[in-house]
């Protein structure tokens, strides 16, 4: 691994309120450095005050009537222009994303392309905000439905997909006619700034899209509490999401929370083990395991477990760890020191639980290889013989750590896979079509993959989970507009006279 020359450019990071870039007045900020090379100072992110959040909410409230009255196809055209601009700027976005978040350049390019796809699909919803007509019990009476925006909506997004997740919230919210206050993660503020610049260049009017940087306990909390905000869409941890859900419920706000995952791969005794191993390794260690759909557990029927473990070990040990901006890198760093320390803590927990360490299990930062000394790198780690109730098999780690649990048979494997608080995604590997369809019905999750990794999704397909993973309507695809709009029923009596209550 070659040494990386630090980038010395420092990027400014203002808020965006009512069509203006505004420097925060709080006087508080955090340093943000490249997680692969902490000599590279990207800039400082402000920690905005509640008053600054309120100013953004007021701007969104003022802008709402005009944006609501803008025809939906015209709103969709602006989102489509954003797609074209992102496509043109894809490489620049990808390189900034890698510098700020740490994922490999290939993964960043993939995220940008997915974001383009989401924008393209969602732009078309401007021409598909349809209702339906229904027969009335009364003669000469028309009943129909239409969609209307919520009003001012708050968006709170995470650092692990700092373009795709905001895009799949911002795009449907705009198309449906809402005005927005977006609080991005304080770990990815510079990618967030570029995304706002893109929407502004696409033609989003002043006050319609506002961005305020800050931390959850102040900026996020104010966004959830403010009475003018009628909906909150959140992606992040289950602990924070459940708190937001409870707080918003007091004001009867509409809430959408996409939270944690502990996603299993179930490997039956008739599975293609080479395919299962390749898919599991990519699902577990891609994006450094820092994705809600990452593979965290392998639940394998015991009769084929030893063979699968060996194939997993061989593939895992071949992964190249390093700065994602360099060619040939498979696994990047944790996003920051806090996340790195969390991963190390879980690795130690795994070593002391009943499982056995197959490979990895060590921090690369501070090793004799100086190339790793400036980044938050962990060797991709595999544990075998993990008990289903062990902490590393139950708790979300969000890092390159994979636990293998052995099951007696196919149905025992399904039961183990389901014995978890979360329910986002799962995979089943089998050569038996009957088992595949049965697993698709029995697995307790929002998305099931057959003979493919737990990760991945498409722009026109709904995304989301159940149990402790998800609250509210699904995101992306044809269901994306459901959260950002209210359904209104209209009755039109065209008799022109008072109707006798007994007359049909």
Strand partners, 20: 17
Structure tokens at 201: 């260049």
Cβ atoms within 10 Å of 494's Cβ, excluding its own: 8
Report the distance separating Cα 100 and Cα 235, nearest Å: 19
List phi, psi (to 5°) of 145: -120, 155
Secondary structure (3-state) at 382: strand
Give the integer Cα–Cα distance in Å for 203 and 75: 9
Q: Could you report how far apart the first and last alpha carbons of the chain are, in Å? A: 81
Cβ atoms of 244 and 234 within 8 Å: the answer is yes
- Lookup: tokens for 220: 């996020």
486 an active-site residue?
A: no
- Phi-psi region at 343: left, alpha or beta (left = phi > 0; alpha = psi -120 to 50): alpha
Rounded-to-integer distance, Cα 180 and Cα 208, Å:
6
Structure tokens at 480: 């994306």
Query: Pick from 334, 319, 399, 402: which is nearest to 1 by CA?
Result: 319
Could you give the CA distance from residue 332 to residue 285 in angstroms, rounded to a whole number? 9
- Nearest 5°: phi and psi at 217? -60, -20
Sign of dihedral through CA atoms 409, 414, 415, 420? positive
Collect all residues with Cβ–Cβ distance below 8 Å to 411 and sequence separation of at least 6: none
The β-bridge partners of 153 are 180, 231
Helix runs in 262-378, H state only: 273-285, 305-317, 337-352
Q: Which of 292, 359, 396, 445 is catalytic?
A: 292
Q: Which residue has the tokens 């697993």?
A: 439
CA distance 100 to 36: 9
Angstrom CA distances, 332 to 289, 337, 399, 415, stand at 10, 14, 10, 33
Residue 488 near residue 146 (C-beta atoms within 8 A): yes
Catalytic residue among 100, 107, 120, 258: 258
CB 377 within 8 A of CB 363: yes
176 flagged as catalytic? no
Helix axes 72-88, 164-175, angle to 10 degrees: 160
Paired sense of beta strands 133-135 and 141-149, if any: antiparallel
Sequence-separated (6 or more) residues with CB below 8 Å from residue 484: 149, 150, 153, 172, 173, 175, 176, 178, 231, 233
User: What CA dihedral angle connects 76, 81, 84 and 88, to 10 degrees?
Assistant: -150
Which residues participate in catalysis according to the annotation? 258, 292
């Amino acid at each position: 691994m070659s040494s990386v020359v630090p980038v010395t450019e420092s990027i400014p990071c203002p808020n965006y309120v009512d069509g203006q870039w505004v420097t925060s007045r709080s006087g508080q900020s955090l340093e943000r450095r490249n997680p692969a090379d902490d000599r590279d100072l990207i800039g400082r992110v402000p920690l905005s005050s509640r008053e600054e959040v309120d100013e953004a909410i007021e701007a969104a409230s003022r802008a709402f009537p005009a944006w609501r009255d803008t025809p939906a196809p015209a709103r969709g055209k602006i989102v489509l222009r954003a797609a074209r601009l992102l496509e043109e700027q894809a490489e620049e976005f990808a390189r900034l994303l890698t510098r700020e978040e740490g994922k490999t350049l290939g993964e960043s390019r993939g995220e940008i392309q997915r974001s383009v796809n989401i924008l393209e699909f969602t732009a078309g919803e401007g021409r598909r905000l349809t209702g339906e007509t229904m027969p009335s019990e009364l003669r000469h009476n028309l009943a129909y439905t239409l969609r209307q925006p919520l009003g001012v909506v708050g968006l709170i997004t995470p650092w692990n997909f700092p373009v795709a997740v905001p895009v799949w919230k911002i795009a449907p919210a705009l198309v449906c006619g809402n005005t927005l206050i977006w609080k991005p993660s304080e770990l990815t503020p510079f990618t967030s700034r570029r995304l706002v610049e893109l929407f502004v260049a696409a033609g989003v009017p002043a006050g319609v899209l506002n961005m305020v940087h800050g931390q959850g306990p102040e900026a996020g909390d104010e966004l959830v509490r403010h009475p003018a905000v009628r909906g909150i869409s959140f992606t992040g941890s289950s602990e924070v999401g459940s708190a937001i859900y409870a707080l918003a419920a007091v004001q009867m706000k509409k809430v959408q929370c996409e939270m944690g995952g502990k996603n299993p791969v179930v490997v039956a005794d008739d599975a293609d083990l080479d395919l299962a191993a390749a898919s599991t390794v990519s699902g577990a260690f891609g994006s450094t395991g820092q994705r809600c759909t990452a593979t965290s557990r392998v639940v394998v029927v015991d009769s084929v477990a030893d063979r699968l473990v060996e194939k997993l070990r061989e593939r895992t040990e071949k992964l190249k760890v390093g700065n994602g901006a360099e060619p040939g890198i498979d696994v990047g760093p944790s996003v920051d020191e806090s996340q790195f320390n969390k991963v190390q803590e879980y690795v130690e927990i795994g070593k002391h639980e009943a499982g056995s360490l197959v490979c990895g299990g060590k921090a690369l930062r501070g090793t004799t290889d100086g190339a790793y000394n400036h980044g938050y790198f962990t060797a991709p780690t595999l544990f075998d013989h993990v008990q289903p109730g062990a902490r590393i098999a139950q708790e979300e780690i969000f890092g390159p750590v994979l636990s293998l649990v052995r099951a007696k048979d196919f149905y025992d494997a399904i039961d183990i896979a389901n014995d978890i608080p979360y329910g986002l995604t799962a995979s089943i590997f089998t050569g038996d079509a009957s088992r595949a369809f049965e697993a698709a019905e029995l697995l307790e999750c929002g998305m099931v993959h057959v003979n493919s990794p737990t990760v991945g999704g498409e722009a026109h397909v709904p995304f989301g989970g159940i149990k402790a993973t998800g609250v509210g309507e699904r995101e992306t695809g044809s269901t994306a507009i459901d959260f950002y709009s209210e359904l209104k029923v209209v009755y039109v009596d065209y008799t022109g006279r008072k109707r006798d209550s007994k007359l049909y």
